[in-house]
Amino acid sequence: MAMATTSSKPMREQVEEFISKLQEDIVSALEKLDPNAPAFKRDDWLRAQGGRGLSCVFAVPDPSVSEAAATAQNSVLEKAGVNISIVHGILPPPAVKQMRADHGSMKDLEGSLPFFAAGISLIVHPRNPHAPTVHVNYRYFEITEPVPEGSQEKGKIVAWWFGGGGDLTPSYLYEEDAKHFHATHKAACDPHGAAVYPTFKKWCDEYFVIKHRGESRGIGGMFFDDLCDEPHKRFLEAGGEEANAQRPHTPETIFAMIKDLGNAFLPSYMPILERRIHTPSDARARRWQLLRRGRYVEFNLVYDRGTRFGLLTPGARIESVLISLPETARWEYGSELGSEEGSEEARLMEVLKNPRDWV
């Protein structure tokens, strides 16, 4: 468990150091899993409006390009991205107005405001239909007071918060995988308050929902946002003042929790991936996998807050915003897959329509 410590470094620097190391650890583990596959492409980039990032992306060439490209189609992963961004700039008035609703410390703020945001976001789409897709992200956001143009002074922080989470999105339901993924994250949450895991898990079940389908995107995980020192309505709803009082409140204690959750990713997912990558499969399983990926696309483009925020952010790198989309997906009119009673596909659909507690 990461201990909350007092550092002389600003929180933005601590977050930057953590996500940079976590990114390298995750990419290295994924490359080690499949040493014969192409390495992740490392793409350093600068943001004209302020900031930088590093996108680590896995993709193999289209098989029509060459014989070598066709051979690469045997890779464990089909597409993956492990990206970090550390950006700053000016938040426009409409965004400030929107954020005031969730942050009492911003109630008197108007106009454009300086901001800083840093985070890590990853998506892994394995090739085997029995190996689940996974998505995780953690982020830190702060807003400072404006300073006179040309001033070398740094504005006072007037609002800050952490957010993050992730979910497991299988095409086929393996209960041992679901229990392992949730149990690992619960173990990372529990030292930071008894209400943390159930609150984040319930929030995840309510967030990753394809409303027009009446089904979840996956089998859950965690989701949280706007976590700072202010009373949080999700914890108040979960267990009243007591639950809210017990969860982390300070930048140091919330960041300690973020580090535990970030470091829980590899032990939560890699054993599952290693178990499923060699499972025998067939054309039906591939077809169902592509249909589930179509649902993934629907959620991300219609409902996901991060995708919508990214597309509306000035100077956004569209390639990075859309990195979560699978390389291939499928939509069928009135497909029978998933509706056949007693089938493995229908077994998954039952859970997607009726979320379960896994631990």
pLDDT, tens digit, 9 for 90 and up, residues 286-340 = 999 999 999 999 999 999 887 877 776 666 778 888 889 999 999 999 999 999 9
Q: What's the whole-number mean pLDDT along residues 178-195?
A: 97
Q: For residue 105, what pLDDT is reported?
A: 66
Q: What's the whole-number mean pLDDT along residues 55-66?
A: 82
Residue 17 has pLDDT above 70, yes or no: yes
Q: Is residue 336 part of a domain?
A: yes
Q: What's the whole-number mean pLDDT along residues 169-173?
A: 98
Residue 191 has pLDDT above 80, yes or no: yes
Whether 135 is catalytic: yes
Which of the residues 135, 180, 182, 232 is marked catalytic? 135
User: Residue 189: pLDDT band by 50, 70, 90 thresholds?
Assistant: very high
Q: For residue 332, what pLDDT is reported?
A: 96
3-state SS assignment for residue 180:
helix
Residue 29 has pLDDT above 90, yes or no: yes
Cβ neighbour number for residue 336 with a 10 Å cutoff: 9
Q: Is residue 2 part of a domain?
A: no
Alpha carbons 45 and 87: distance in angstroms, whole number: 11
Q: For residue 141, what pLDDT is reported?
A: 93
221 and 197 in contact (C-beta within 8 Å)? no
Q: State the CATH number of the domain containing residue 177.
A: 3.40.1500.10
pLDDT, tens digit, 9 for 90 and up, residues 34-43 = 999 999 999 9
pLDDT, tens digit, 9 for 90 and up, residues 154-169 = 778 888 999 999 999 9
Q: Is residue 124 part of a domain?
A: yes
Q: Is residue 305 part of a domain?
A: yes
> Which of the pair, 49 or 306, is modelled with greater confidence?
49
Contacts for 337-342: CB closer than 8 Å, 24+ residues apart? 337/284, 337/287, 337/288, 337/291, 338/288, 338/291
User: Residue 93: pLDDT band by 50, 70, 90 thresholds?
Assistant: confident
Q: For residue 239, what pLDDT is reported?
A: 86
- The lowest-confidence range among 69-78, 182-191, 309-318 is 309-318
- The lowest-confidence range among 57-61, 186-190, 331-335 is 57-61
Q: Is residue 359 part of a domain?
A: no
Tell me, yes or no, if the pTM score tops 0.75.
yes
Q: Is residue 264 part of a domain?
A: yes
Residue with tokens 């993924």: 181
135 and 169 in contact (C-beta within 8 Å)? yes
Q: Is residue 56 part of a domain?
A: yes
Alpha helix (H) ranges present in 34-89? 67-71
C-alpha neighbours within 13 Å on the C-beta side of residue 356: 14
Pick from 319, 348, 331, 327: nearest CA to 75: 327
Q: What's the whole-number mean pLDDT along residues 231-255?
A: 92
Q: For residue 67, what pLDDT is reported?
A: 64
Cβ neighbour number for residue 140 with a 10 Å cutoff: 25
pLDDT, tens digit, 9 for 90 and up, residues 106-145 = 667 777 888 999 999 999 999 999 999 999 999 999 988 8
Backbone angles phi, psi at 199, to 5 degrees: -70, -45
Residue 100 has pLDDT above 80, yes or no: no
Question: Which residue type is seen at 269?
Answer: Y
Alpha carbons 76 and 60: distance in angstroms, whole number: 11
263 and 188 in contact (C-beta within 8 Å)? yes
Residue numbers of the domain that contains 105 = 11-353
Q: For residue 89, what pLDDT is reported?
A: 87
Q: For residue 111, what pLDDT is reported?
A: 77
Q: Is residue 5 part of a domain?
A: no
Number of domains present in the structure of the chain: 1
Alpha carbons 355 and 220: distance in angstroms, whole number: 8
